[in-house]
């Protein structure tokens, strides 16, 4: 799998297509979030797949178990490579979701704690006891036990989750910024190289690529840097939750 997933945080398809033009026929791993999906619907997913791209459909499903299961049973027909649910939906919801993607090419990822949530927000707004790392690890272990393929987490929790969940558990981290970038609305961010060193399999990168004057060069530079860094990766733990 490519180490970088480009977040298509565009308000419409026209802007997305203009962004893709400089990449030519290069096959990419592209994330479609809620804003773009609700505007374009299923057609964008099937079109990008037909053009040879991998698609991460980031819809963050969170509802009663039956509803999530039925929704996924429809969405997997689009053949997305990844799709997301919220781990906070509970073990039964995650088990039903995992069952809905069984036998398909789609990998199910559970969101732990959003990267926009800080320690203070977890405590004061959500009234959750404990710290972000402990909660993220708890959700990751519950997800793995429920048959989910991996998690979405901040790079700051990646090492702890890797230690608990083992080497075969998929960890995808958003909240990636280059050194010169503004963090915007993210609270827990990290550079690409550091995130991979801490145990992430893949990185979701949006504005650090999509807002650049030469996004192709930036993308390829990041991929090259990460490919060099993956030689002799430090995370090989086989410990399980």
Supply the residues annotated as catalytic. 60
Give one DSSP letter per residue of the chain, joined into a string.
--SEEEE---SSHHHHHHHHGGGTT---EEEE-HHHHHHHTHHHHHHHHHTT-EEEEEEEE-S-HHHHHHHHHHHGGG--SEEEEEGGG-HHHHHHHHHHHTTSSPEEEEE-S-TT--HHHHHHTS---S-HHHHHHHHHHHHHHTT--EEE--HHHHHHHHHHH-TTSEEEE--B--TTS--TT-SS-B-HHHHHHTT-SEEEE-HHHHTSSSHHHHHHHHHHHHHHHTTT-S-------
Residue whose structure tokens are 């033009």: 21
Q: SS3 of 130, please?
A: coil
How far apart CA 126 and CA 118 sit, in angstroms, is: 11
Q: Other C-beta atoms within 10 Å of 2: how many?
A: 15
Residue whose structure tokens are 């530079």: 221
């Amino acid at each position: 799998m490519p180490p970088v997933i480009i977040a298509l945080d565009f308000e419409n398809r026209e802007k997305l297509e203009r962004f893709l033009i400089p990449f030519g026929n290069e096959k990419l791993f592209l994330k479609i979030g809620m804003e773009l999906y609700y505007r374009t619907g299923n057609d964008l997913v099937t079109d990008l797949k037909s053009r040879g791209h991998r698609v991460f459909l980031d819809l963050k499903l969170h509802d009663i178990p039956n509803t999530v299961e039925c929704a996924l049973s429809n969405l997997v027909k689009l053949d997305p490579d990844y799709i997301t649910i919220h781990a906070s939906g509970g073990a039964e919801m995650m088990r039903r979701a995992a069952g809905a993607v069984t036998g398909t090419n789609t990998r199910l990822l559970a969101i732990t704690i959003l990267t926009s949530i800080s320690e203070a927000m977890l405590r004061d707004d959500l009234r959750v006891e404990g710290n972000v790392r402990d909660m993220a690890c708890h959700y990751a272990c519950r997800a793995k036990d429920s048959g989910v393929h991996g998690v979405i987490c901040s790079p700051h929790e990646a090492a702890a989750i890797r230690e608990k969940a083992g080497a075969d558990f998929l960890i995808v981290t958003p909240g990636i910024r280059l050194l010169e970038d503004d963090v915007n609305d993210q609270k827990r961010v990290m550079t690409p190289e550091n995130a991979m060193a801490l145990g992430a399999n893949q990185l979701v990168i949006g504005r650090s690529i999509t807002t650049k004057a030469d996004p192709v060069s930036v993308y390829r530079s990041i991929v090259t840097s990460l490919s060099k860094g993956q030689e002799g990766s430090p995370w090989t733990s086989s410990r399980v939750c």
